[in-house]
Amino acid sequence: MSEPVVDHPCFSRFFNWLASRGPGRGSFVALRSATAGQARGVTLELGAGGGPNFAYYDPALVARVEATEPDATMLGYARQRAAQASVPITLTQAPAEALPFGDDTFDTAVMTLVFCSVADPERSLRELLRTLKPGGRLLMAEHVRSRHTALAATQSALVPLTTRLASNCHWNRDAASVVRQAGFAEVHAQPLTYPRPSIRLLAGGLLPIQLIEARKPDIS
Ligand SMILES: C[S@@+](CC[C@H](N)C(=O)[O-])C[C@H]1O[C@@H](n2cnc3c(N)ncnc32)[C@H](O)[C@@H]1O
């Protein structure tokens, strides 16, 4: 099976600014605390970007983090943040569709704002399921398809634009359904609200964010 090549230097520079110094920084605190901040044991982070989650891993609870990211520009930023993190972090250039890790390796998998961009959502989640230990936990935060028909149609209409401009970003994916279809158990999805009213007004309708938690089924 072929692997997607991800190489978007302009978007990577823009998103790294947005997530670290731009309006995204404050907006994303809650989703980073609810995902990376809740990780335990040996942890996999997919599509780590420039590493804004690294500061949220608790050294008392997380043994080490294997962080993957396919884009070389993002990896450059992530290297700097990994060096400052208080948990050991190893970075590997790899797409979510082909993870270079053995079966049943990780206690926790973290994925923030990545599912929208992967080339093959089902294959990515099957890879996650394979590499998690039985009972291992997925902590995912993602902007998802709106529950309102008109907004969902607008999201779909914008996809040709957003995929071109924003590193294959799809505004219309129903992440929780794909997590269930991939074979995860105990799938819980809840909305996360943007803290700033102005951003909530601008982004909340077309970019509703969900926190999705799930487990790899235990071996019976
Ligand atoms: C919007 S950024 C989010 C970065 C980071 N996770 C965060 O929370 O700030 C999306 C990230 O997904 C990565 N990405 C795109 N396609 C991917 C794939 N097939 N597998 C893994 N990551 C991918 C991009 O390179 C980028 O770093």
Measure 157 CA to ligand 1 centroid, in angstroms.
Answer: 22
Measure 173 CA to ligand 1 centroid, in angstroms.
Answer: 15
pLDDT at 8: 93
Note whether residue 147 is domain-resident. yes
Predicted TM-score of the model (pTM): 0.95
| Ligand 1 within 6 A of CB of 121 | no
Q: Are residues 43 and 64 in contact, defined by beta-carbon separation less than 8 angstroms?
A: yes
Strand partners, 115: none
One-letter amino acid of 25 = R
pLDDT at 1: 75
- Substitution candidate for ligand 1 out of 35, 114, 165, 192 with most atoms within 8 A of CB: 114
Q: Are residues 86 and 116 in contact, defined by beta-carbon separation less than 8 angstroms?
A: no
One-letter amino acid of 176 = A
Query: How far is Cα 104 from Cα 191, in angstroms, rounded to an integer?
Result: 29
Strands in the chain per DSSP E: 41-46, 62-68, 89-92, 106-112, 132-143, 185-192, 209-215
Max CA pair span of the chain: 49
For each of the chain's 220 residues, which pLDDT tens digit applies?
Answer: 788 889 999 999 999 998 887 666 777 899 999 999 999 999 999 999 999 999 999 999 999 999 999 999 999 999 999 999 999 999 999 999 999 999 999 999 999 999 999 999 999 999 999 999 999 999 999 999 999 999 999 999 999 999 999 989 999 999 999 999 999 999 999 998 877 766 665 666 899 999 999 999 997 6
CB atoms within 10 A of CB 220: 4
Write out the residue range of the structural domain in which residue 112 sits.
9-215
pLDDT at 198: 66
Q: Which two tokens stand for residue 168?
A: 């294959």
Count Cα atoms within 13 angstroms, Cβ side, for 27: 25
- Domain count within the chain: 1
Note whether residue 36 is domain-resident. yes
| Ligand 1 within 6 A of CB of 6 | yes
| Ligand 1 within 6 A of CB of 166 | no
| Ligand 1 within 6 A of CB of 116 | no
Note whether residue 165 is domain-resident. yes
Note whether residue 2 is domain-resident. no
Q: What is the CATH number of the domain that holds 113?
A: 3.40.50.150
Q: Are residues 54 and 81 in contact, defined by beta-carbon separation less than 8 angstroms?
A: yes
Note whether residue 197 is domain-resident. yes
Report helix, strand or coil for 50: coil
